Amino acid sequence: MTCAELEILLCDYVDGTLRAAEITAFERHLKECASCAELAKDVAGVTAFLETVPDAEPPAELLTRILHDVPSGRQTTGERPAWWRRWFGGWVEGVLQPRYAMGMAMTVLSLAMLARFAHIEPRPLHAADLDPAKVWQSIDDRSHRVWDRAMKYYDNLRLVIEVQSRLKEWTDQDQAATAADSAKDSGRPSPPPATNDKR
């Protein structure tokens, strides 16, 4: 038996739970190793001292306090939970779970890293920025700007389509006029003019 194995089995030896073969090997090692014998003697002395210490008596009201404070499966008192716990208790407790908090922290960290890589510099908040009237005005201004940009894009898109269709129409008219002129010069009948149906 090695010193490490003896240290592992020391508590079982002091408690008297070792098998006979382990006890003989343990005691043989104690005779051969002075440091392990001294360690076993110290542990036996501490155990003997602890056995002389009187048992601690718990206070009389401890059992009553435990039974009163520890919640059972049903509610024994007539107290109703607080109003905020009744209204928000279900989802607030879920939000306060460590995995949810860790997920939110990772989301904030990811967004911060993306903003940093995109060279978006955050502006420090001031008390005036949190004024509800200014927040509402800012949201209103931004929504109107987005609407105006969308309408301007749509109008510009219609303009581009209109310009392209007019150019095609003029090109077709020029080609028809050129073909008519060349047909007059050669004496052949002219082709019918191109019609632009927008159906």
Mean pLDDT, the chain, integer:
80
Specify the pLDDT at position 195: 59
Specify the pLDDT at position 72: 56
144-168 residue pLDDT tens: 999 988 888 887 787 778 888 899 9
Specify the pLDDT at position 199: 46
What does the alpha-carbon distance between residue 196 and residue 171 come to, in Å, rounded to a whole number? 11
Specify the pLDDT at position 168: 93
What does the alpha-carbon distance between residue 187 and residue 180 come to, in Å, rounded to a whole number? 10
Using the structure block, give the residue that is written with the tokens 């008596």.
Answer: 57
Domain-embedded: residue 21: yes
Specify the pLDDT at position 125: 73
C-alpha closest to that of 145 among 157, 137, 133, 134: 137
Helix (H, G, I), strand (E, B) or coil at 193: coil
First-residue to last-residue Cα distance in the chain = 100
Specify the pLDDT at position 111: 87
CB 183 within 8 A of CB 189: yes
Domain-embedded: residue 169: yes
Low-confidence ranges of the chain (pLDDT < 50): 73-75, 199
What does the alpha-carbon distance between residue 37 and residue 175 come to, in Å, rounded to a whole number? 116
Domain-embedded: residue 174: yes
The DSSP string of 32-75 is H-HHHHHHHHHHHHHHHHHHHSPPPPPPTHHHHHHHHHS--SS-
Number of domain units in the chain: 2
Domain-embedded: residue 85: no
Domain-embedded: residue 122: no
Domain-embedded: residue 57: no
Q: What percent of the chain has pLDDT over 90?
A: 7
Q: Which domain holds residue 27?
A: 3-52
Q: Is 35 exposed, middle or buried (0-12, 13-18, 19+ CB in 10 A)?
A: exposed
pTM for this model (two decimals): 0.30
Specify the pLDDT at position 172: 93
- Angle of CA points 135, 136, 140, to nearest 5°: 120
CB 37 within 8 A of CB 3: no
Specify the pLDDT at position 71: 63
